Structure 1
């Protein structure tokens, strides 16, 4: 089942305990980010209110005792998009309360993590985020009867292999 619009957004307001994201691509080409990525690459300063609504979402969940965790797989040298994430996006997410882990696989080509981005909500709902090779999102797919042990294992492996964003040095 493909998710879009309000139906997709509801997963971020309705989860009860936890939301985990595995990010494996090195570049994402998201139309909503095009102007801010362009500004970052041009050397512009980050706007003071950058990602404010997302940060409010993270803070609200943290205040209610719900966790938001992300594991970002990286390879050095970082792509321009990954540098944008590291300099403009992730610091605000972490300050708002998101647990952001970096999994550097530069020297570990056999890392046993999938090449598939996904969200895992409440350890029971899996949504694949499908992308073209250039990082353009194709769709978001709610999996019916996923093998939860596999996704929980990938989550645990990513978290065990990662380091907190604040400790990662590029």
Structure 2
């Protein structure tokens, strides 16, 4: 079953304890970000200390409610322009309460090679994120089978990654 619109948005309002994502691509082709990416490439940066939007406010609300939202992004160096852009927003998102971790597989085997992007809600429901090679989203698909492999992917990703702030220390982004 494909998931879109209000049904997709409801996943982020209805989960009870945890929403978690595995990101595997070096770039996502998101039309809503085109202007922001152009500005970033032209040298514009946000002030992470002053940055606030609907997403950061929602992260703070989730934390107040005792819920967690997190992700692990698998990367290789050199970081793509898109990742450098995305990292600019990761800092205020992490400060607002999202557990963002980075799994750098530049000089080692990727234990999650071949695993596609997914969201997992309450460690019980998995939504597969299907993308074209260029990072353009095709669709979101409710996984109908056993979620235990995804729990193992999450375990591996968490064990093999480091917190975002630790990863970016000393990096010239």
Measured against the shorter chain, the TM-score band is: over 0.9
User: SS in structure 2 opposite 1:119?
Assistant: strand
| Residue 162 in structure 1 maps to residue 156 in structure 2 | no
Which stretches in structure 1 are left out of the alignment for 5+ residues?
none
TM-aligned CA deviation for residue 157 of structure 1 = 0.2
Q: Distance in 1 between matches of 2:110 and 2:34?
A: 32
Please name the residue that 2:63 is paired with: 62
Report the CA distance shift for 1:110/1:98 in structure 2 as closer, same or farther (over 3 A): closer
Which stretches in structure 2 are left out of the alignment for 5+ residues?
none
Q: Distance in 2 between matches of 1:54 and 1:110?
A: 30
Q: Distance in 2 between matches of 1:135 and 1:13?
A: 26
TM-score with structure 2 length normalisation?
0.91
Q: For 1:31-62, what per-residue CA distance to the aligned partner results, in whole angstroms no more than 9, with x for missing partners?
A: 11111111111111327875611111111111
Please name the residue that 2:87 is paired with: 86
Please name the residue that 2:96 is paired with: 96
Superposition pairs for residues 16-165 of structure 1, below 5 Å? 16-46=16-46, 52-87=53-88, 89-144=89-144, 146-165=145-164
TM-score with structure 1 length normalisation?
0.93
* Contact 1:114–1:154 under 8 Å retained in 2: no
Give the stretch that moved more between structures: 33-42 or 71-80. Answer: 33-42
Q: Distance in 2 between matches of 1:110 and 1:46?
A: 32
RMSD: 1.6
Q: For 1:109-135, what per-residue CA distance to the aligned partner results, in whole angstroms no more than 9, with x for missing partners?
A: 342344300000000010011110011
Q: Distance in 2 between matches of 1:35 and 1:51?
A: 18
* Contact 1:21–1:117 under 8 Å retained in 2: yes
Please name the residue that 2:9 is paired with: 9
Q: For 1:85-112, what per-residue CA distance to the aligned partner results, in whole angstroms no more than 9, with x for missing partners?
A: 112x101110110011100011123423
Aligned length: 168
